[in-house]
Chain A
């Protein structure tokens, strides 16, 4: 009888050991000449004669729609350039860019922003490159964009990108026109005062708690006492325990008579539908004689890793062009940071964009912390002032001094 062939444990171990050594030797073998370098992440080799530009985009309904619209048009106008879009979730975008930079896989064009000192961080990290030389060599007229926007993305005297989207900050008061008319009041107009706003908010606040007159933004505000009065004295703003969902949830559901927001809140018009009529007004004039605003800018930047800066800059220019800026507005939301976009007839047919233009043309300069710790300071301010809005503290000099000193500790930290 033939001896049955069985694999013993020893022979199995011998075979797997030999196989493992073989695999290890193969992995350690040098890369043959001419083969692509390790770490290459090109989705596919570009077509012959074409320069491939890897563009790191944020996932988002408005921006995705714009990129899908503009990419074919750009590549048709520039047949020697192929744009490859790589989209990442917005909340993890900065971390992804940092990872790619550290791993040597960063592409050619990326998004950045003034908000949260993102572009400052990106500059110090070395992921975005100054474009002054490219602006000069391509004869780009920088007057196309709002000066305040350009200043916002200029770091250490160098322009780090071109303005892609821009708005004047939380400088807009969205108001429920239906509710105001039902209360027999006049709608707010440019130049209205804070006292008028408080009176209107009181008229819009119902006793049953189903509608509040006003929800201000707590971010970046100087007038803590004014805000405190809205919450606790006049009781026209919902306290934290009275909030149902997010602030935009309450606005879209009609639970707010007025709401302080940015230009992007206008997209909720589709959600509101016929529920109520709404319109916008600038912030009321405060004691300082102005309504309060500051440039917020999103930028498209050329990365430090690009090997094709000229082609990358062409794509940046296309994304920040008048056409792209208008398309952003037609899709819905914040538009390009250009006067010719804010004043475009296609957009001004929407009445709220007329108000946006007036605010943007007169917006104040951007203000970020000198040490770039904007997010840290804003987060701390929100946390420290929560007891005020909840009614657990009053804006006494001692309380405000405590908040100020803790914020100052953050402002005294060195740049990251």
Chain B
């Protein structure tokens, strides 16, 4: 028969085994997390290296840019590159033109796409599905197919060399955003619509006061995509705009690039500075709107 002391010793031994296993598991878990973090940091560094190289190049002189082997940090920081961007080309004008076009086009795209998506998601009417597929099918048309008739249409309207071709089409919806918003609207429970109807709200009132506020995350997504699309657009401004005072930033960057088959004075450092100026607003917008993505995932609007 085991003594009390022996029994106590046995008990202690049995308890320490699970504790040791738990410690091992915890170590494995933490080590795994550590490895994942290291991998993520390395991959992030690899992807962000071109961006940091752009920053570094934007602060170098032209001579330093061509040093061989290349150096990462500039020997002398040349902030003048940023002022040269504005003195060598009417960059301030390009910025204001791009802001005007982007803001107006973005608003139009959000409102029109949301309205159309609301119709497709909330109302049943004959031919609804066929119409929706027709809208989606317009995504299959490459822009090379539509640019010629579009140009001829705007030429007939007398809109060439104005901002109108770059803004007005956005007020007629966009297939991708209509699809995206429709899918999101369909996740919003109809209980809310019915409750509002019982209170006497019209469809427009429901759309404005209930659906839109609940769809902030989706609308923020559309806003970001739309902003990027119009901020970076190049082909549209190239084709529809002729006067330099109407150019946008995407064409403005060309002021710092060489002509093909010809050696102009190298301006790559200034081009890097200009590129950073152009990239800054989309970056700021992305980080500012990030929270709306997270909220939208967890919120459906139902309480209690």
Chain B nearest CB from A167 CB (Å) reads 10
Which of B88, B155, B258 is in CB contact (< 8 Å) with A103?
B155
We find that the number of chain A residues with CB closer than 8 angstroms to chain B is: 64
**Contact B155 A270, beta carbon cutoff 8 Å:** no
**A43–B151 touching, CB < 8 Å:** no
| Given A244-B69, A253-B67, also A6-B263 (CB < 8 A) | no
Assess whether A103 is in contact with B265, with CB atoms less than 8 Å apart.
no
Q: How far is the CA of A366 from the CA of B123 in the complex (A)?
A: 69
Interface flags, B113-128, vs A, CB<8A=1, else 0: 0000000000100000
How many angstroms from the CA of A254 to the CA of B69 in the assembled complex? 10
In the complex formed, the residue of A with least CB distance to B245 is A43
Chain A positions 93-124 with a Cβ under 8 Å from a chain B Cβ: 96, 99-100, 102-105, 113, 115-116
Bound together, the chains give a CA A255 to CA B263 distance in angstroms of: 18
Once A41-B161, A99-B151, A267-B265 are accepted as A-B contacts, the answer to whether A8 and B242 lie under 8 Å apart by CB is no
- When the two chains form their complex, are residues B204 and A38 in contact, meaning their CB atoms are under 8 A apart? no
User: Is the pair B204, A267 in contact by a Cβ cutoff of 8 Å?
Assistant: no
Query: Which residue on chain A has the smallest CB distance to residue B158?
Result: A38
A12-B203, A12-B204, A105-B242 known; A271-B266 Cβ under 8 A? yes
CB closest residue in chain A, given B235: A92
| A90 interface residue (CB < 8 Å to B) | yes
Encoded as 1 (CB less than 8 Å from any B CB) or 0, chain A from 38 to 67 comes to 111101000000000000001111111000
Partner of A61, one of B200, B203, B204, B267: B267
Q: How far is the CB of B268 from chain A (nearest CB, A)?
A: 9
Chain B residues near A387: list those with CB within 8 A: none
**What residues of chain B lie closer than 8 Å to A8, measured between beta carbons?**
202-203
In the bound complex, residues from chain B placing their C-beta under 8 Å from that of A334 are 262
Shortest Cβ gap from A84 to chain B (Å) = 8
Decide if B13 is an interface residue (CB 8 Å cutoff).
Answer: no
Could you tell me if B244 and A271 are in contact, using CB atoms closer than 8 angstroms? no
Q: Does B238 contact A (CB under 8 A)?
A: yes
The reply to whether B151 and A103 contact each other, CB–CB distance below 8 Å, is: yes
CB neighbors of B among A220-265 (8 A) = 244-245, 248-250, 252-255, 261-262, 264-265
Chain B, residue nearest A263 (CB): B263
B262 near A60: Cβ-Cβ < 8 Å: yes
* A255 proximity list for chain B (CB < 8 A): 68
A399 on interface, CB distance cutoff 8 Å: no
Q: Is the CB of A244 within 8 A of B70?
A: yes
Distance, CA A86 to CA B160, complexed state (A): 13
* B238 contacts across to A, CB distance below 8 A: 88-89, 92, 96
Closest CB-CB distance, B235 to chain A, in whole Å?
A: 9
Across the interface, name the chain B residue whose C-beta is closest to A40.
Answer: B158
Residues in chain B near residue A36, CB distance under 8 A: 158
**Known A39-B160, A89-B251; contact A262-B200, beta-carbon cutoff 8 A:** no
Tell me, yes or no, whether B254 is within 8 Å of chain A by CB.
Answer: yes
Contact between A270 and B265, CB atoms less than 8 A apart: yes
Q: What mask results when residues 243 to 287 of chain B are scored 1 for a CB within 8 Å of chain A, else 0?
A: 110000001001101111111111100000000000000000000
Q: Contacts A9-B203, A38-B157 known; A267 to B263 CB distance under 8 Å?
A: yes
B residues 40-71 near A (Cβ < 8 Å) are 62-63, 66-70
| B164 at interface by CB-CB < 8 Å | no
Say how far A3's CB is from chain B's closest CB, in angstroms.
10
A40 CB contacts on chain B under 8 angstroms? 158
Residues of A within 8 A of B62 (CB): 270-271
Q: A7-B202, A58-B259 in contact; A105/B155 too (CB < 8 A)? A: yes
**B71 CB to closest chain A CB, in angstroms?**
11
The reply to whether B251 and A262 contact each other, CB–CB distance below 8 Å, is no
A350 to chain B: closest CB distance in Å? Answer: 15
Contact of B244 among A41, A85, A90, A261 (CB under 8 A): A85
Q: Which residues of A contact B258 (CB under 8 A)?
A: 60, 90
Given A90-B259, A264-B263: A271 and B66 interface contact (C-beta under 8 Å): yes
> B262 to A252, Cβ gap below 8 A?
no
Chain A residues near B263: list those with CB within 8 A. 248, 261-262, 264-265, 267-268, 333
24 pairs, A vs B, C-beta closer than 8 Å: A4-B200, A6-B201, A8-B203, A39-B156, A41-B161, A41-B242, A58-B259, A59-B255, A59-B259, A62-B264, A86-B243, A89-B251, A90-B259, A102-B151, A103-B151, A105-B160, A252-B63, A264-B264, A267-B263, A267-B265, A268-B266, A271-B63, A333-B262, A333-B263
Interface residues in chain A, defined as those with a beta carbon under 8 Å from any beta carbon in chain B: 4, 6-9, 12, 27, 36-41, 43, 58-64, 84-92, 96, 99-100, 102-105, 113, 115-116, 210, 244-245, 248-250, 252-255, 261-262, 264-265, 267-268, 270-273, 275, 332-334
Contacts A89-B257, A271-B266 known; 13 new A-B pairs at CB < 8 A: A6-B202, A8-B202, A9-B202, A38-B156, A39-B156, A43-B161, A85-B244, A86-B242, A96-B239, A252-B66, A252-B266, A270-B265, A271-B265
- Sorted nearest first, the 9 A-B pairs with minimum C-beta distance are A90-B259, A89-B254, A264-B263, A253-B68, A253-B66, A252-B66, A39-B155, A41-B161, A86-B242
